[in-house]
Amino acid sequence: MADYDCEVCVVGTGAGGGILAYTLAQAGVNVISLEQGAALPDDQFTRITPPDGGDALGIGPNTVWPSDPHDGLFIHPLFADGQHGSTARQSGQFQHFQILALNGLQNLWNGVSVRFSPQDLAPWPIDYSVLEPHYGAVEELITVCGTCENIPELPDGCFIPPKPLRPADQMIVDAVRSLGEPHSHAIPNRKAINTIKGTPHSCISSGICTSGCPVGAVYKFSVRLLPQIAQRPNYQLRTQAKVLRLVADADGKHVSAVEYLDTETGQRHRVRARYVVLAAGAIESPRILFNSATPDHPQGMANQEDQLGRRLQDNPKVVLSTSLYKLWGKRRDYDIGYGDHLILMSRGLLPDGSEFPFIGHAIHGLPTTPHYLTFMRHLGAGLKDNRARAMFHSYMTLGLFCAGEPLADNRVMPGDTQDMWGVPQLAINFSIPPQAHRQMDAMMAWGHKVLRRSSATLLHTTRDNSGTGIHYAGTTAMSDTARDGVVDADLKAHGLDNLYVCDGGVVPILPDKHLTLTIMALAHRLGGHLAQRLQAT
């Protein structure tokens, strides 16, 4: 260790970085984690709407009408603006959401934890049998609730019991069953939430998880795993450490150091490591690699075949919200839970007769602002208040997602802007392929059928494929050769002997399913791989 500050430097503390740091530190490896943000205050998420909505029904002095019920997920003070993030976030372009804090995007993670199927992994350099044991290990580490259903397209895992279904959920289950489609399913959701009462960080049923969990029931590195390694002599966490670039040796095949800016003091530092792992995200990790250009790597590090940043993907999605009239006037005598208690699965039919799979969630929560009030503008104050209270527990939202499409021209690349520290940012080129529009049409039609059979009233719908899925993938793709991607089957960068990438960017083809559990499984596998390499030297 005389020539190194650590054996492994891990950049990022989100889905991949947190699992990787924990796995390595527990194996006795000397690890330094770099996180460009700070740790959030302990009380960051304790100010929540009461479980019954409160006397004000969630309506505050700054409520704006008409409100879009689907905007709430993307309006949050934790999301980085264009002055702090790795992209300028210009309006009308691909929307890049980033949280510059310990845990990264998992501070607002919904906890959805589903395995990719053998068919999903068929185009990858590794198959399902390689990831299966790591899926199981991670499910136990992060505590995933769910039920075993024996659906080949959605492999079962290691689960604790989920929250019970609510009346609105059962209405959706009945509607899906009434379709008579053997490929359509409505099953309990699989989420990284501690549902066991009386245990530390058990779920208190505060509703939708994407506003942040006030008790840490949803998995986060800082709550679940960091406390187990924080005091170990072989682990360090350095926050407010914005990585600027990687420093290569003279031969250009070895990363000798990670250079970062202490955003609190303005000073630059270097971490010398035997191995470096970028786990900063599918857009942030390419930013670091592009900014590490040298005469030997003029297009950026790990980019000898111009593959870095290409094939940016996010899941095309449709969202449908309504009020179920069969629930009007019903009092809530059930556990409101964590919002989306159901996974929905089906297949869409395209105009050419082909089918495609899609997956989604049924979300029954207490609205922050009951958006149906905007349609009652002509009612008197008393009648409007009475109607809003009658409808308050009747809202249902379906969010449906299909697979991304790995188009080489959908990419991140060096831009012409800088952040507030003078660090070059990335530009994003992204267009929605025609196939995605057809798939969104088919998902929307299916969602309409299900909600109509569930006693839907007015439907509020949106559709998008410009980043609001926040399932970014493909930019440092796993591949057999450098001609087709950036990292190999072990996540090692092609042409570099000690640089690895472990985040959504390594996913070569994004299936319809949420990718976080797969990132974690890859990180768990990589931890074992690096520990073995270190033992062999």
CATH of the domain at 489: 3.50.50.60
How many Cβ atoms sit within 10 Å of the Cβ of residue 528? 15
Domain count, the chain: 1
Helix boundaries (H) for 407-458:
434-452
Whether 321 has a pLDDT exceeding 70, the answer reads yes
89 occurs within a structural domain:
no
> Is 50 contained in some domain?
no
Is 292 inside any structural domain? yes
Residue 92 placed within a domain: no
Among 70-79, 159-168, 501-510, name the one with the lowest average pLDDT. 70-79
CA–CA separation, 495 and 327 (whole Å): 60
Please say if the pLDDT value at position 332 is more than 80.
Answer: yes
Q: How far apart are CA 134 and CA 522, in angstroms?
A: 7
For residue 211, what are the domain limits?
Answer: 6-37+59-77+100-536
| Separation CA 58–CA 291 (nearest Å) | 45
Does 44 fall in a domain? Answer: no
In angstroms, what CA-CA distances link 151 with 147, 183, 363, 454, 537? 11, 9, 22, 24, 43
* Predicted confidence (pLDDT) at residue 42 exceeds the cutoff of 50: yes
Q: Region of 337 please: left (phi>0), alpha (psi -120 to 50) or beta.
A: left
Q: CA 391, CA 395: separation in Å to the nearest integer?
A: 7
Integer-rounded Cα radius of gyration of the chain: 23
Interacting residues of 445 by C-beta distance below 8 A, sequence separation 6+: 348
Confidence (pLDDT) at 208: 80
pLDDT at 49: 46
Instruction: Give the angle subtended at the CA of 65 by the CAs of 60 and 67, to the nearest 5°.
Output: 90
The per-residue pLDDT for 53 is 45
With a cut of 90, say whether residue 209 has pLDDT above it: no
> Does the residue 14 lie in any domain?
yes
Evaluate whether residue 53 is within a structural domain.
Answer: no
Q: How confident is the model at residue 296 (pLDDT cuts 50, 70, 90)?
A: confident
pLDDT at position 50 is 45
Q: Which pLDDT value is given to residue 250? A: 80
User: Looking at residues 484-501, what average pLDDT do you find?
Assistant: 97
- Identify whether 504 is part of a domain: yes
Q: Which tens digits make up the pLDDT trace of 225-264?
A: 999 999 999 999 999 999 999 999 988 889 999 999 999 9
| pLDDT score of 76 | 81
For the chain, give the mean pLDDT: 92
Polymer length in residues for the chain: 537
Cα dist from 455 to 335, 392, 394, whole Å:
22, 15, 10
* Residue 69 clears pLDDT 50, i.e. is over it: yes
Q: Please name the helix (run of DSSP H) or strand (run of DSSP E) that holds residue 320, with its range, or none.
A: strand 317-323
**Does 374 or 359 have the greater pLDDT score?**
359
Take residue 341 and report the two structure tokens written for it.
Answer: 């208690």
pLDDT band at 497; cut points 50, 70, 90 = very high
pTM (whole model) above 0.75: yes
